[in-house]
């Protein structure tokens, strides 16, 4: 193999093993043996397991963010259409890149601040904020709360996506439809100044 071919092979092997066993459960020896190379070859290309893991995670994040950004940046699309497109984009990624999704939902290795599922959700949510802010202004709601609702909205789609991956008891389109049903109808009935009723009752 050429250098680039060997590098790509190691990435694919690492991706599969990290998905199956997690970062901690995968050893350098196992990666090298599966790829049919010696350990020094792995160190030469990535500096170790941590380096390989970082490359695998970065590729998955870029792939998912690319799909989500494309879904959320269709000019002239209605807010609900954008929400539906985002839900389908995430479920498409889960279906077509199952190993990648399993890697992203696992904990990052110690000392790594990026690449965790939480940081990925935050990155995707930042793509949603401006859409929600515009919709909030139209409905005379506080646009300053859009970042919070963006985090909640994206998390609400991502977590059930993991459930669907394991169960597959519903069609992908049906899962997306139910997610959008809850999200959209919840947004349409929002209060301008929400408060916890138990706290409000005590104050009164």
Distance CA 66, CA 102 (A): 18
Residues contacting residue 174 through CB under 8 Å, at least 6 positions apart: none
- pLDDT tens digit string along 32-70? 999 999 999 999 999 999 999 999 988 988 888 888 888
Contact criterion met (CB below 8 Å) for 30 and 40: no
**Closest alpha carbon to 85 in 160, 14, 19, 176:** 176
**Residue pair 117/151 in contact by the 8 Å Cβ criterion:** no
Cβ burial of 130 (10 Å; 0-12, 13-18, 19+) is middle
Q: What is the pTM of this model?
A: 0.77
What's the pLDDT band for 138 if we cut at 50, 70, 90? confident
Structure-token pair, residue 152: 């909640």
């Amino acid at each position: 193999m050429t250098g680039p071919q060997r590098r790509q092979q190691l990435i694919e092997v690492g991706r599969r093993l990290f998905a199956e066993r997690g970062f901690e459960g995968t050893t350098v020896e196992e990666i090298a043996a599966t790829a049919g190379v010696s350990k020094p070859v792995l160190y030469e290309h990535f500096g170790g397991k941590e380096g390989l893991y970082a490359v695998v995670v970065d590729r998955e994040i870029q792939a998912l963010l690319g799909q989500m950004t494309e879904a959320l940046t269709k000019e002239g699309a209605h807010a609900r259409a954008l929400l539906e497109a985002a839900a389908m984009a995430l479920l498409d990624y889960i279906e077509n890149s199952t190993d990648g999704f399993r890697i992203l939902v696992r904990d990052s290795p110690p000392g790594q601040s990026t690449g965790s599922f939480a940081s990925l959700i935050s990155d995707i949510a930042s793509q949603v904020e401006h859409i929600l802010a515009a919709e909030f202004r139209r409905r005379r709601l506080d646009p300053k709360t859009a970042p919070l609702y963006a985090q909640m909205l994206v998390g609400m789609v991502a977590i059930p996506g993991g459930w669907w991956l394991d169960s597959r008891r519903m069609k992908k389109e049906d899962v997306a439809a139910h997610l959008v049903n809850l999200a959209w109808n919840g947004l349409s009935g929002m209060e301008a100044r929400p408060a916890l009723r138990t706290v409000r009752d005590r104050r009164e």
